[in-house]
Structure 1
Amino acid sequence: MNPILGEVFYALILLTWVIFVSFPLTRWLYSLMRGRGLSHGVAIYFNRKVIHILAGGLIALLVPHLFSTPLIPLSMSLILAALLYIPHWRGELLTWFQTPENLFEVHFCIAWGLAITAGWLLTGGDFRLGVIPVLYMSFGDAVTGVVRNLIFRRRTKSWWGNIAMAAVCLPIGYMLGLWGVVSALVASFIEHFEFGPIDDNLTIPLSSFLILYLT
């Protein structure tokens, strides 16, 4: 098979997986959680973390093995960002994981694609620089949200969540040595803070990316 056609084929499979996770799977999970007494807000944020892990994190792990350049992954991430923005623009939210309060899921898609692309470009073809920060954002931040929801039953910031995030991110960062560990700790710390419209889906990959690139 032509390599480019092969990558397009992989992209279509992954896109189908993302659609499955974002629509039937998390919609079913939302109904299940609501039926068990969880509030609307808690169910939404649990679902967001499911999407972080099964879509963002899993696919980021596969990118270096399936794609020779970040062109197709970047295109996919920007298309998904646009598709997720449209319900906000039209006022017809996907209520099982979107909220009118923020556009964080849109930020996630954009940061995912830009981090992977920038890492590949700045290293001359090594995906690791971009993938590692994306894994912090996908797996680490997801664990943070799950822990907080289990403890507080609402979306809030707590250092317990950041400790859980560090436990997940440190082994990932360790693969890149000392500065990988430092980047994991910084990402786990900075997740605790939000700066207006700039949320942790932007600050986590940006801060850890800069540490890894500059060191």
Structure 2
Amino acid sequence: MFVSPSEIAFDLPLALILFAIIVSVVFITRKMKNVWINRKLIHLSSAPAVLVYMFVFKEPYLFFFFALAFSLVLLIPHLRSRELEWFQVKDNLGEVFYTISFAILSIALWETNRSLAGTAMLFMSVGDSITGMIRSRFVKERRKHWSGSLGMLLTCSAIGAATLGTQGVILSAVATVAEFQPWIDDNLMVPFLTTFAKFLF
């Protein structure tokens, strides 16, 4: 895909602003104690970037670059066993999988189905965040709970209906199941299973 300098020039200031929003939230959460809530707040901070990717950006490469850069920056503390303790957990690469999945979807679906890519990412950045926050009100330990799944389903249904109509609502159910299953990290399962399911329709 050819990208003109003018498209990069248009997107770059927006990308830098969105980058600053995410980094600001990362540092704000440093003063908060709940690691899992911090992770969800950081997830939420990426939602504006997803919306701009869907509706404003002229090309996918800046989004891809920043997502990949975040992946590397987040992976390094794990490799050094020096996790950023206010939002990273030892032996849990969820936040790395999160940014990698965004990078892959953003570049793979830009020309064919940008709305699907954005919807799958919003299911994670917003839907999964709401899930975690609701769940934390009902259970102290980190485990799945029906309240979080209900929150996920309702939130993702609203997102899916707004972006993809009836198909989006169906995909919200897929995303909820993907989030609830315990075997594969939901940061991978939610976006990729949602995307795969869309191609089965």
What is the CA RMSD across the aligned residues, in angstroms?
A: 1.6
Partner of 2:37: 46
Partner of 1:187: 175
Please show how residues 10-159 of structure 1 align to structure 2 within 5 Å: 10-23=14-27, 25-28=28-31, 30=32, 34=33, 43-55=34-46, 57-121=47-111, 123=112, 126-159=113-146
Shift of 1:77: 0.2
Q: What is the CA deviation profile of residues 83-127 of structure 1, one whole-angstrom value per residue up to 9, with x for unaligned ones?
A: 000111112111100010310000000111212222213x1xx42
Partner of 2:190: 204
**Cα distance in 2 for residues equivalent to 1:74 and 1:47:** 24
TM-score by length of 1: 0.86
Matched-pair contact (CA < 8 Å) for 1:11–1:73: yes
Q: Any unmatched runs of 5+ in structure 1?
A: 35-42
Identity %: 34
Shift of 1:20: 0.9
Matched-pair contact (CA < 8 Å) for 1:116–1:129: no
Matched-pair contact (CA < 8 Å) for 1:10–1:66: no
Shift of 1:3: 3.0
Shift of 1:66: 3.2
**Cα distance in 1 for residues equivalent to 2:193 and 2:7:** 34
Aligned length: 196
Shift of 1:172: 1.2
Matched-pair contact (CA < 8 Å) for 1:183–1:207: no
Partner of 2:165: 177
Q: What is the CA deviation profile of residues 34-77 of structure 1, one whole-angstrom value per residue up to 9, with x for unaligned ones?
A: 4xxxxxxxx0000000011112x221012133311211101110
Matched-pair contact (CA < 8 Å) for 2:78–2:91: no
Matched-pair contact (CA < 8 Å) for 1:120–1:127: yes
**Cα distance in 2 for residues equivalent to 1:18 and 1:143:** 17
Q: Any unmatched runs of 5+ in structure 2?
A: none
